[in-house]
Amino acid sequence: MAGTDSSIPVTLAPSPAIILCEPQLGENIGAAARAMANFGLWDLRLVRPRDGWPNEKAIAAASRADHVLERIRVFATLEEAISDLKLVYATTARSRDMQKEVIGPEEASANMAAQIMGGNGAGLLFGRERWGLLNHEVALADAIVTLPVEPAFASLNIAQAVLLMSYEWRRTSAEGRALPFGSGLDETAPRSELAGLFEHLEGVLDQSGFFTTPDKRPSVINNLRTALTRGRFTSQEIRTLRGVISSIDRRHERPNPNRVKPAVREPGEK
C-alpha cells in the first residue's frame, strides 16, 4: 500500500511508548517501527533485544522510518523502560491467572489519550516472538489489552500487534478519523441531467424494439431508473453514457468491417 509523501514533514505529536520485551528478530523491530510511523507513533523502547542494537535487519525492515529508529532507547530491565510512564498496558492473547482488568484496544487508546492530554506518559508492552510476555511482566501493567482474535489461532506477530494498536491509537485523534485523500470527488449531476439520460435511453430502447411486452415496460423502466439513480453519476459521466447510447443507436448506419461479405459467383459457377 504505497503512498508516502516525503515532502510532508514528520510531526512528533504526543503519543504512547511502544515497549518490546526481549525482541528476538531484527526484522520484527523494523516492521514494528514502520507500523508506528504509519500511524504517528515514534517512541520505541527495547528491553534486552537478543541481537543488540543497532541492527541492520531492523533498519532494512523499517523502510525508512528513520525518525522512529533514531529515537530507539534500549533498557536493561522492563522496570527501567516504563519508569516514566503513568499508565501501562500489557498486550496478550492469552488468559492470565491473575486479578488484572482486561480491556479492548479502543478503550485502551481512549484511556491513554486522556493520560497523555494531561501531560502524563503512557505505554504498551509487547512480548517475545515465541511466548509473549511473562506473568511477572504483565503484573507490572495496569491492565491487559487483548484483541477479538479467533481463539483457535490467537497468536499475532509482534509487528502485526503493534500495527493494530497503533491504528487504534490513531483513531482517537481528529487526524486519525479523517482519511488522507478521497474528498475531491466531483459533485453528483443535477436531477435534470439524469432525467435527460432516462429519456435518451428509453427513447432508443423504444425505437430498437427492446420492449417486446408492452405491459412490462413500466416495471422495466422503473428498474432501469432505480439502478441509474443509485450510480450517483457526475455530469461528465452522464455525457459519456449518453455518448455511448448515441453510438449504439447509430451502429446500423456504419459499415461493419468485420462482416464477411458473401462470395460473388460467376455465371454457371456452382
Q: CATH assignment of 17-177, given 3.40.605.10, 3.90.550.10, 3.40.50.300, 3.40.1280.10?
A: 3.40.1280.10
Average pLDDT value for residue range 170-189:
72
What is the chain's mean pLDDT, rounded? 88
**pLDDT at position 175:** 63
d(CA 123, CA 151): 25
Q: Which amino acid is at 261?
A: K
Phi/psi for 138 (5° steps) reads -60, -35
What is the torsion angle, in degrees rounded to the nearest 10, for the CA atoms of residue 19, residue 24, residue 29 and residue 35?
-80
CA distances from 227 to 30, 107, 220 (A): 48, 41, 11
Number of other residues whose CB lies within 10 A of the CB of residue 89: 27
The reply to whether domains 17-177 and 191-252 share a CATH topology is: no
pLDDT in tens, 244-267: 999 988 866 655 555 555 555 666
**pLDDT at position 152:** 82
**pLDDT at position 40:** 93
Q: Does residue 225 register a pLDDT over 70?
A: yes
Give me the residue spans of the domains in the chain.
17-177, 191-252
d(CA 58, CA 55): 5
pLDDT in tens, 6-54: 667 777 899 999 999 999 999 999 999 999 999 999 999 999 999 999 9
Alpha helices in 82-131 (DSSP H): 105-117
Q: Does residue 215 register a pLDDT over 60?
A: yes
Alpha helices in 97-254 (DSSP H): 105-117, 135-138, 158-170, 174-177, 191-208, 217-230, 235-249
User: Strand 87-91 vs strand 122-126: parallel, antiparallel, or unpaired?
Assistant: parallel
d(CA 170, CA 188): 31
Order of strands across the sheet with 73-75?
73-75, 43-47, 17-21, 122-126, 87-91, 143-145, 102-103
**pLDDT at position 262:** 57
d(CA 26, CA 52): 9
**pLDDT at position 1:** 46
Tell me, what DSSP letter sits at residue 187? P
**pLDDT at position 209:** 87
pLDDT in tens, 120-171: 999 999 999 888 999 999 999 999 999 988 888 878 899 999 999 999 999 9
Cell numbers for 88, please give them: 501501562
Which comes out higher in pLDDT, residue 186 or 219? Answer: 219
Q: Is 140 helix (H, G, I), strand (E, B) or coil?
A: coil
**Among the listed residues 15, 16, 14, 19, the one whose alpha carbon sits nearest the alpha carbon of residue 140:** 19
d(CA 205, CA 151): 56
**Among the listed residues 127, 123, 166, 104, the one whose alpha carbon sits nearest the alpha carbon of residue 28:** 127
Report the percent of the chain where pLDDT is more than 70. Answer: 86
Cell numbers for 190, please give them: 443535477
Fold exhibited by the domain 191-252? Helicase, Ruva Protein; domain 3 (1.10.8)
Q: Does residue 182 register a pLDDT over 50?
A: yes
Which comes out higher in pLDDT, residue 62 or 94? Answer: 62
Angle at 64 between CA 184 and CA 126, to 5 degrees: 100
Distance of CA 43 to the CA centre of its chain: 23
**pLDDT at position 91:** 95
